Amino acid sequence: MKSVLITGGAGFIGSNFAHHALARRPDWSITVLDKLTYAGNPKNLCSLETNPRYRFVHGDIADPQVINSLFSKGLDMVFNFAAESHVDRSIECSNAFLRTDVYGVHTLLEAARRWPVYRFLQISTDEVYGSVRERAFREDAPVRPSNPYAASKAAAEALAHAYHATYGVPAIITRATNTYGPRQYPEKLIPLFITNALEGRPLPLYGNGDQIRDWLHVNDHCEALLHLVDHARTGDIYNIGAANERRNLDIAHLILEQLGQPVSLIRPVEDRPGHDRHYALDCAKLSALGWRAYIPFERGLRDTIAWYRHHPSWWGPLKSGAHAHYYQRQYGTEVFQPPDRLRGIR
């Protein structure tokens, strides 16, 4: 049995990965470590509780005591999903981002240096590149993060790279594009738009909605990570994308159309400072290892909408309380602007 640590496994991608890995790898025994911040949700893991190959530990990746105690018992693989992950929150205040995304990664790497593991996957993001310049980014393009979240992830990558070069920690860095699917906290674009549309509430769209992202289904993201743990070279960086570039405005239209809601629900709001216009990845390096994304966007989005439609008890409570205050601070009264702001945006 291989002993696998999944940090941040109560969040969106980490919880999908825990389910995916337990189903796909019968010889893996999984420990999920999660601090249970606002984005971590024990409900994401409750169906695993009876699985003898699964256990949950409540703790912080930046706490050396917790981390050392897990590593000292012997780990084969580490998948580090734990992070503060929302760009807008990092613009409001970045302290927690530096603590978890940088210092937390340092704590994990220090432990991996002391108690060697077979593979250490640092789950990173295409946001480290910044907005696309002449052509899609290959892994050797310079990083130019445009917001504190992306900067904290780039710093974590630099640490992982340094610990590989200096101490031989078998780190692999993955840079995935925007990921969507079930169990994503409803502050991110797709779940925010779906749940607002289900409630008949406005969809706050930054600027004129012409930002372009490559959308990757979470199951494809999870499968790519399993593929990389088997085939990637340690010390290397791998882009993960779906070749599925869409404008935010078009995503809003698709969601409203599928839910039978009017376009007038779209409300342009003041653009995010430092907002990258366009992310695009060249994924030839990962393709050469025999992996590609399989889930067509139309089907993935339809299934994701169906999941949110059938799980209002999962997202309903998340949109009240602290989230409601955050939402008001973030979008303010702008979100209630009348639809005539939409003129000229199509």
Ligand X SMILES: NC(=O)c1ccc[n+]([C@@H]2O[C@H](COP(=O)([O-])OP(=O)(O)OC[C@H]3O[C@@H](n4cnc5c(N)ncnc54)[C@H](O)[C@@H]3O)[C@@H](O)[C@H]2O)c1
Instruction: Write out the residues near ligand X by the rule CB under 6 A.
Output: 7-8, 10-14, 33-37, 39-40, 60-62, 81-85, 100, 104, 123, 125, 153, 176, 178-179, 185
Concerning whether 103 is annotated as a catalytic residue, the answer is: no
- Rank residues 178 and 330 by Cβ distance to ligand X and give the closer one: 178
CA distance 225 to 101: 19
- Rank residues 31 and 261 by Cβ distance to ligand X and give the closer one: 31
Give the pair of three-digit tokens for residue 227: 């593929």
Note the Cα 120 to chain centre separation in Å. Answer: 17
Cβ within 8 Å of residue 132, ≥6 positions away:
277, 278, 279, 280
Min dist CB 213 to ligand X, Å, is 9
- Rank residues 150 and 205 by Cβ distance to ligand X and give the closer one: 150
Min dist CB 224 to ligand X, Å, is 11
Sign of the dihedral through C-alpha 237, 241, 243, 246? negative
Q: Residue 230 phi/psi, 5° resolution?
A: -85, -35
Local structure of residue 278 (DSSP, 8 states):
B
Min dist CB 336 to ligand X, Å, is 27
Residue nearest to ligand X (CB): 11
In 3-state terms, what secondary structure has residue 272? coil
- Rank residues 40 and 170 by Cβ distance to ligand X and give the closer one: 40
Cβ within 8 Å of residue 255, ≥6 positions away:
190, 193, 194, 197, 203, 301, 305
- Rank residues 206 and 265 by Cβ distance to ligand X and give the closer one: 206
**Region of residue 320 (phi > 0: left; psi between -120 and 50: alpha; otherwise: beta):** beta
Beta bridge pairs of residue 214 = 245
In 3-state terms, what secondary structure has residue 107? helix
Min dist CB 263 to ligand X, Å, is 25
CA distance 334 to 237: 40
In 3-state terms, what secondary structure has residue 166? helix
Concerning whether 126 is annotated as a catalytic residue, the answer is: yes
Instruction: Spot the catalytic one: 34, 110, 129, 149.
Output: 149
- Rank residues 5 and 305 by Cβ distance to ligand X and give the closer one: 5
CA distance 5 to 121: 10
CA-based diameter of the chain, in Å?
61
Instruction: Spot the catalytic one: 34, 84, 110, 126.
Output: 126
Instruction: Spot the catalytic one: 127, 187, 214, 220.
Output: 127
Catalytic residues: 126-127, 149
